[in-house]
Structure 1
Amino acid sequence: MIQDITTSIRTIVVLWLLTALIYPLLIFVIGQGFFPAQANGSLVTNSQGQVIGSTLIGQAFSREDYFGSRPSAINYSIGEDAFPTGLSGATNLAPSNPELLELTQARAEILQAADIKPTADLLYSSGSGLDPHISPASAIAQIDRIAAARNLSADDLEILIKQNTEGRFLGIFGEPAVNTVTLNLALDQL
């Protein structure tokens, strides 16, 4: 019985060393050594070197001279009724829920008032509520508004959208998407 207890204790110590020390340290070294940008949050900086966001988390762009992002159920952590940064979540409203229909209709009216063709990703929030991506069609639908606000040509904005369009993951998964955070940063750099 003493031998069984000794074996159990040695096994616990070895497994603890592997899972609590060696594995996390190895992942940390690999992340910082080979993928430092991703391991540190995929942060985006402006021309002054200030961190202004992350390519992984959407932001609310409400000014007329920026491409609008997906709506968020958590308001991207801005305003009085928003949750603190880092929280995510969807509305959890069923498709048959009248609140979801009212919310969608209100978003559609806002888009139509701005002469933007409502698309699914400009009407509905993502499951996490933090998705920074919109479809290329949603970005193209906003070109006229931004061209007028920034006094730019529509052709220049189309080129900018194409330059900031991410393809399918591994060439087969998902759909092409435009990251509004990086697109608006590139727009500021024009």
Structure 2
Amino acid sequence: MKKQLIISLKMLGLMTILLGVIYPLIITGVAQLAFPSKANGSLIDIDGTLRGSKLIGQNMDTTIYFTPRPSATKYNTLPSGASNLGLTNRKLHNMVIDRKLTFIRNNKLALDTHIPSDVLFASASGLDPHISPIAAKMQVERIAYARNFTEKQKDLLNVLIDELTETPQFGVLGCTRVNVFMLNLELDKLR
């Protein structure tokens, strides 16, 4: 029995070093060489200022920017996750109604307008930076008005949404989407 215990402890030590130290270092090194931007979080640096990551949504509580999906964690990466409220939960129902009415009011839409679900429900991680192109286009009038855009500039907003629209990966994984963070960065370039 003592012999088996010693063998087990040696295997534990070997596997810990092999799989807990050596393997992660190799994978990290390969990722840094092959995909340095992605390995470092797809960070966006503009004029020496870190603006954010392409992979994480940011709260935009302003009229001059596109608003992202709601987040159960207010885009905090440490406790990322969903609210875990079920579809029959009254609190979730009230939050969705409130989000819908707020979106309709902020964007001056008709009360019977169909609002895409990505504007009403948070993603599973609470960090998703994407919305549907339809949800983005519903915000164009508000942004154009808030920024005093001309009709030509407003048309450029629609073109910008179309240009930044991503298709499903490999044609089947995910859905058509627009990265709100990247869209807002490009929006700031329009003058």
Which category describes the TM-score, using the shorter chain as reference length? 0.7 to 0.9
| Aligned twin of 1:43 | 43
Partner of 2:83: 91
| RMSD over aligned Cα atoms | 2.2
Using the aligned pairs only, state the percent identity. Answer: 41
Please list the CA deviations of residues 12-38 of structure 1 after superposition, one character each: whole Å capped at 9, or x if unmatched.
Answer: 554344213321121111111111111
> Residue 104 of structure 2 aligns with which residue?
112
The secondary structure found in structure 1 opposite 2:128 is coil
Gaps of 5+ in 2: none
> In the alignment, which residue of structure 1 is the partner of 2:74?
75
1:154 aligns with 2:154: yes
Corresponding residue number in structure 2 for 1:174 = 174
Following the alignment from structure 2 to structure 1, what is the Cα–Cα distance between the partners of residues 52 and 181? 8
In the alignment, the residues of structure 2 paired with residue 93 and residue 3 of structure 1 have an alpha-carbon distance, to the nearest angstrom, of 52
Change (3 A) 1:60 1:9: closer
Query: Which residue identity is paired with 1:119?
Result: P
CA offset at residue 164 of structure 1? 1.3
1:131 corresponds, among 111, 128, 134, to 128
Residues 86 and 13 of structure 1: CA distance in aligned 2, closer, same or farther (over 3 Å): closer
Which residue number corresponds to residue 185 of structure 1? 185
TM-score normalised by L of structure 2: 0.85
Q: Number of paired residues?
A: 182
Q: Distance in 1 between matches of 2:119 and 2:89?
A: 19
Aligned equivalent of 1:82? none
Structure 1 runs not aligned, ≥5 long: 78-84
Secondary structure in 1 aligned to 2:44?
strand
**Cα-to-partner distance string for 1:125-158 (whole Å, 9 max, x where unaligned):** 1111111110011001111111112215332011
Residues 9 and 103 of structure 1: CA distance in aligned 2, closer, same or farther (over 3 Å): closer
CA positional deviation for 1:87: 1.8
CA distance in 1, matches of 2:134, 2:26: 42
Amino acid across the alignment from 2:185: L
1:87–1:7 CA distance, 2 compared to 1 (3 A): closer
Give yes or no for the alignment of 1:32 onto 2:32: yes
Measure, in 2, the Cα distance between the counterparts of 1:60 and 1:162: 22
Superposed CA offset, 1:77-118 (max 9, x none): 4xxxxxxx4221212111111111111111111111122452
* Residues 90, 20 of structure 1: alpha-carbon distance in 2 compared, 3 angstrom cutoff: closer
